[in-house]
Structure 1
Amino acid sequence: MNSSGLQNRIIFIALAPVLVFGLVFTAWYTYQDLSQQNQAFSGRTQTAVQRLADGLAMPLQEGDTELVQALLRRALGERDARSVRLFDPFGSEWLHSGPTMVGPAYPHAIQDTTRLTLYESGETYRYLIPIYPPSDLQLRMSTSPPSGWLEVEFDYANTQVAHYRTILINSLMLVLGMLAVAGLAVWLSREISQPVRNMIETVDAIREGNLDARVDLKASGELHDLEVGINSMAETLKEAYEDMQNSVEQATQDLRETLETIEIQNIELDMARREAQQANQVKTEFLANMSHEIRTPLNGIIGFARLLDKSNLTRKQEDYVATILSSSQGLLTIINDVLDFCKIEAGKLMLDNRSTNLRETIEDVLVMLAPASQAKNLEVVSLYYSDVPEQLITDPLRLKQVLTNLVNNAIKFTPEGSIVVRTMIEQAQGNKVMVRISVTDTGIGLSKAEQKALFHAFSQADSSTAREFGGTGLGLVISKRLVEQMGGDIGLESVKNEGSTFWFNVKAEIAPAIQQPPKRTDLQGHTMAVVEPREMSRLALRHQAENWGIHCLEQQDLDELLSHLQDPEAERVDLALIDVAGFADDEQLYRKILKIERELNCPTLVLASTHEDDISYKLLEQGAQHYLSKPVRTQQLYQTLVSMLNPYSGGTSPEDAPLMLGSVRNAIRVLAVDDNAANLKLIVTLLESMGVLVDGVPSGEDAITAIQQTRYDLVFMDIQMPGMDGIEATQRMRRLEPAHQRMPIIALTAHALAEERQSMLDSGMDDYLTKPVDEDQLQRTLFKWTGATLQQDGQSPEAAFAHEETPDTLDIEDLQRLPVVDLVSGLEKASGKLGLARDMFAMLMDTLENDQSQINALYQQGDYKALLEQVHRLHGATHYCGVPRIQQTARHTESLLKQGHYAVLEDALFLLNEEITEVVRWHEENDRDQAFDQAVKVYAYQVQQKSGKKVTTG
Structure 2
Amino acid sequence: MDSFKSLKQYIESGAFYKAVVEDGSDIIFIVDYDGLILYHNPSVQETLGHEPNSLIGENFFDYIETQNVGALKAEFKKSVTKPYDSNIEFRFLCKDKNYKYLEFNSINLHHKEGLEGLILDCRDITQRKRDAEELLRAQKAKEQFLANMSHEIRTPINGIAGMVNLLFEANKEEDRAKYLNAIKNSTENLKVIINDILDLSVIESGKLRFEKIGFNIKYQLGAVVDTFLFQSKEKGIELKYEIHADADTVLLGDPVRLNQILINLISNAIKFTHIGEININVYLFEKKGKTHSIRFEVADTGVGISKEKIKNIFESFTQADESVTRRYGGTGLGLSIVKQLIELQNGSITVESEENKGTKFIFTIPYESGKIQDLVQPSSKVKATPKHSFKNLKILLVEDNDINRLYALNILKKWECDVDGAENGYIALEKLRSNDYHIILMDIQMPIMDGYEATKSIRKNMPAPKNQIPIIALTANAIKGDNEKCLEVGMNDYLPKPFQPEDLYKTISKFAQENGQNNSTPVPDEDITDLTYLTSICDGDKTFMRDMVETFLQNTPPTINEMQKWINKAEWSKVGSLAHKIKPSITFMGIESLKPLIKNIEEYGKENYKTDLIPTMVDELSEKCQMAYKELRKNLDTNLK
Query: Which structure features the higher share of helix residues?
Result: 1
Q: TM-score, normalised by structure 2?
A: 0.40
TM-score normalised per structure 1: 0.28
